[in-house]
């Protein structure tokens, strides 16, 4: 399957007769390396992490995730444990975003957003150009007024006479407005809908035991009897309170327990 990053990569020029340079295979998320003379490294996109193109289907994304998850799973991967865990975390993060259409659509819009022009961050967090700062400096220099009587100056900083006062009224208004905004936002945000089973076990997944004692994910409905509480490596042991079953896809061991009647709504 061809990998399409959706970005142009500038590689250093190679000597004549040598193979065309490209990204190394030491990591699943090396991304594109900058050309010689540059000190920045572009972060790999979720599509590059999974090794799929921007136009990949949901089935292609799932197949790519499973293939790479088997390769980088702690049970089978060789090398540094920290690097293996980091690679697996990147895979999980990429699949979590790309498996749902709404998350993927939002992520695609972020990738397509322009990076903007070179600007300088102003004190309020907004971007301001160098010319704008120059104009402000000229205005301050020309329009500076001498300090009033009774005030003291330190360089160009003018402090009013008398003790400092806390803007209590402004702070109270801001607190009320902020509370209203938070309450309104909470009311407008919809609760996340249940995700359909995709065969990959997670904490909270409902499962059914197959004939060979492996477990597979099913929809959490009235017929579900077991729920996953932990997903651990195959070599690890589940706590005594849980039942241990092997994941049908070979991605580890599932520690499950019976679903209480209150969870299924049958009680």
Q: Residue 72: how many CA atoms within 13 Å on its side-chain side? A: 23
If you search the block for the tokens 């293996």, which residue do you land on? 84
Task: Give the pLDDT of the chain (267 residues) as one tens digit per residue.
Answer: 444 444 444 444 444 444 444 443 344 444 444 444 444 567 889 999 999 999 999 899 989 888 888 887 766 666 677 777 788 888 888 988 998 899 999 999 998 887 644 344 444 444 444 444 444 444 444 444 555 555 454 555 555 566 667 677 778 788 877 776 776 665 554 444 456 777 788 888 899 888 888 888 888 888 888 899 988 888 888 998 898 898 888 888 899 998 874 454 444
Burial of 207 (0-12, 13-18, 19+ CB in 10 A): buried
pLDDT tens string 131-173: 444 444 444 444 445 555 554 545 555 555 666 676 777 787 8
Q: Which residues contact 228 (CB under 8 A, 6 or more apart)?
A: 201, 202, 203, 204, 205, 206, 207, 215, 254, 255, 256
Domains and CATH numbers, the chain: 1-13+20-111 (1.10.287.110), 206-264 (no CATH)
- What is the length of the chain? 267
Identify each DSSP E strand in 40-168 by its residue range: 120-121, 127-128, 152-154, 157-159
Q: How far is CA 99 from CA 72, 200, 216, in A?
A: 19, 12, 19
Tell me the whole-structure pTM to 2 decimals: 0.40
């Amino acid at each position: 399957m061809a990998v399409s990053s959706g970005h142009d990569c500038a590689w250093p020029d190679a000597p004549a007769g040598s193979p065309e340079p490209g990204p190394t295979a030491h990591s699943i998320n090396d991304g594109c390396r900058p050309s010689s003379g540059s000190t920045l490294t572009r972060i790999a996109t979720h599509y590059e992490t999974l090794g799929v193109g921007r136009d990949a289907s949901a089935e292609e994304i799932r197949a790519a995730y499973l293939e790479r998850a088997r390769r980088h799973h702690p049970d089978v991967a060789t090398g540094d444990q920290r690097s293996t865990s980091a690679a697996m975390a990147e895979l999980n993060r990429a699949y979590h975003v790309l498996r749902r259409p709404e998350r993927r659509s939002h992520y695609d819009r972020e990738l397509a957003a322009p990076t903007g022009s070179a600007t300088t961050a102003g004190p309020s967090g907004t971007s301001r150009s160098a010319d704008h700062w120059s104009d402000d400096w000229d205005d301050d220099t020309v329009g500076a007024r001498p300090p009033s009587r009774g005030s003291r100056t330190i360089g160009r900083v003018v402090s009013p006479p008398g003790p400092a006062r806390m803007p209590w009224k402004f702070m109270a208004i801001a607190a009320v407005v902020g509370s209203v905004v938070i309450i309104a936002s909470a009311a407008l945000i919809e609760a996340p809908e249940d995700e359909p089973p995709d065969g990959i076990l997670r904490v909270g997944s409902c499962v059914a035991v197959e004939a060979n004692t492996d477990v597979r994910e099913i929809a959490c409905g009235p017929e579900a009897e077991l729920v996953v509480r932990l997903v651990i490596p195959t070599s690890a042991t589940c706590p005594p309170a849980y039942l241990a079953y092997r994941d049908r896809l070979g991605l580890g061991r599932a520690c499950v327990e019976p679903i209480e009647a209150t969870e299924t709504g049958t009680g």
